[in-house]
Structures are given as structure tokens and as C-alpha cells.
């Protein structure tokens, strides 16, 4: 079945097509979500939301890009949406003790998953430091850096997923590397390393 036939089957809500979609993309979508939200449980939840979104909006997909590009775009958007919501909760978390709802907003270590295929660092602490540094980047830099350096997408693929030109991708990667270097340098100086 070629991509156009597969897309028609998805739009007709064929169970076989959705089974194939899950077989082909479940791990890839999870890994993309995990790159942005390095907590296995949350990444699984986001991946489920991605497939729900695909199911609900595949009829609107016009085929302007490859199906895989569209799926990765949804994965990135859902991950960023989750991060924004989590950051909003953190900002207003100080109000919880005042209102008497002592729900912990920030766990001691949010980063639970360090066996991501795109990251091959030697220990958990370094992974956590790296992911925290990446999360401090401006959103556009974080997206491009994560897709290219962690998930291993080419400049062309990152360009298609983000709807940005290749020169824009190169510029964002350059700035992301510079900002990461600054963030990590400050961190290690503060820690006395």
C-alpha cells in the first residue's frame, strides 16, 4: 500500500490502517515526545494525544507534506503544549499552599527517562543537566536543536516539520549551541566544576 492509499484508508477510519499507523509510528512518536519531555509517563500520555489528534484531524490533512512530517509536527506541537501547561502550573504553584491545596507541582526529579536513543551520555546526572539546559532555550531553538541533535533529523526534515527554511534552521542551531554553551558554562561554574 503506497502513502496515498494508506492516507485514504486512514481518512476512511480503517482499523487496519490505524493498526499499521501505530506499528509504524508509535515508537518514533514516543521518542520525539520523550526528547521534549524526558519523563516516560508524560511522553506516553503525549504520544496518545498525538494519535488521537491524528485520528480526529486526518480528514483535514491535505497532503501538502509527507504524512510522516505531519505526524512529527503534531508530536512537536503536543509536546510544546504540554511544556507550556506545565510551566504555567509551576508559575502559579506558589498559590497552592495559600489556598490549602498542597498538590506538589514540581517533583524532585522530573527527568525519569535517560535511555533515549538519541542521547548516549554516560550517566543520569549529565542527562538531567543537559535536558534542563535544553529546556531553558527559547522555544524555536529548543525545537530545532531537539529534532536535529537528539532525534537525528536532517536539516531538510527539520525544515519540513517546522515550516522554516534551511538557512533559518542553521541559524537557530547556531544560536542554540551558543546559548547551551553559555547555560552549561554558568551551571558548571556555579557548581564549582
> pLDDT tens track of the chain, all 193 residues?
788 899 999 999 999 999 999 999 999 999 999 989 988 999 999 999 999 999 999 999 988 889 999 999 999 999 999 988 887 766 554 444 444 443 333 434 455 555 555 555 455 677 788 888 998 999 999 999 999 998 899 999 999 999 999 999 999 999 999 999 999 999 888 876 6
Quick one: 98 and 125 in the same domain? no
Give dist(CA 157, CA 25) in Å, integer: 16
Q: Which of residues 72, 95, 112 is at a domain's end?
A: 112
Phi-psi map region of 63: left, alpha, beta (phi>0 left; psi -120 to 50 alpha):
left
37's CB contacts (< 8 A; 6+ apart) are: 43, 46, 79, 82, 83
Q: Which pLDDT value is given to residue 92?
A: 52
Residue 101 has, within 13 A of its CA and on its CB side, a CA count of: 8
Report pTM: 0.76
| pLDDT for position 109 | 46
Report the domain count for the chain. 2
Shared domain for 107 and 129, answered yes or no, is no
**Same domain assignment for residues 20 and 53:** yes
Do 171 and 101 share a structural domain?
Answer: no
Write down which residue in 78, 112, 146 finishes a domain: 112
| Amino acid 102: pLDDT | 38
Task: Clarify whether residues 121 and 84 are in a common domain.
Answer: no
Domain range holding 65? 1-112
Distance from CA of residue 136 to its chain's centroid? 14
Please say which residue of 112, 134, 161 terminates a domain.
112
82 and 1 share one domain: yes
- Per DSSP, helices labelled H in the chain are 3-11, 15-36, 40-57, 67-91, 95-99, 124-135, 139-145, 155-162, 166-191
- pLDDT tens string 64-98: 889 999 999 999 999 999 988 887 766 554 444 44
For residue 108, the model assigns a pLDDT of: 40
Amino acid at each position: 500500500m503506497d502513502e496515498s492509499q494508506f492516507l485514504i484508508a486512514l481518512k476512511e477510519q480503517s482499523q487496519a490502517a490505524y493498526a499499521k499507523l501505530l506499528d509504524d509510528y508509535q515508537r518514533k512518536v514516543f521518542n520525539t515526545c520523550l526528547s521534549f519531555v524526558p519523563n516516560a509517563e508524560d511522553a506516553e500520555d503525549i504520544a496518545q494525544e498525538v494519535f488521537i489528534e491524528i485520528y480526529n484531524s486526518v480528514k483535514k490533512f491535505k497532503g501538502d507534506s509527507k504524512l510522516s512530517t505531519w505526524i512529527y509536527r503534531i508530536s512537536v506541537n503536543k509536546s510544546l503544549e504540554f511544556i507550556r501547561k506545565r510551566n504555567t502550573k509551576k508559575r502559579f504553584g506558589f498559590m497552592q499552599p495559600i489556598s490549602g491545596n498542597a498538590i506538589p507541582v514540581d517533583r524532585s526529579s522530573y527527568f525519569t527517562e535517560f535511555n533515549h536513543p538519541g542521547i548516549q551520555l554516560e550517566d543520569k546526572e549529565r542527562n538531567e543537566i543537559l535536558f534542563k539546559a535544553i529546556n531553558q532555550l527559547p522555544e524555536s531553538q529548543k525545537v530545532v536543536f531537539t529534532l536535529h541533535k537528539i532525534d537525528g533529523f536532517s536539516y531538510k526534515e527539520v525544515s519540513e516539520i517546522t515550516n522554516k527554511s534551511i538557512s533559518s534552521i542553521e541559524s537557530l542551531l547556531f544560536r542554540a549551541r551558543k546559548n547551551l554553551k553559555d547555560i552549561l558554562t554558568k551551571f558548571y561554574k556555579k557548581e564549582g566544576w
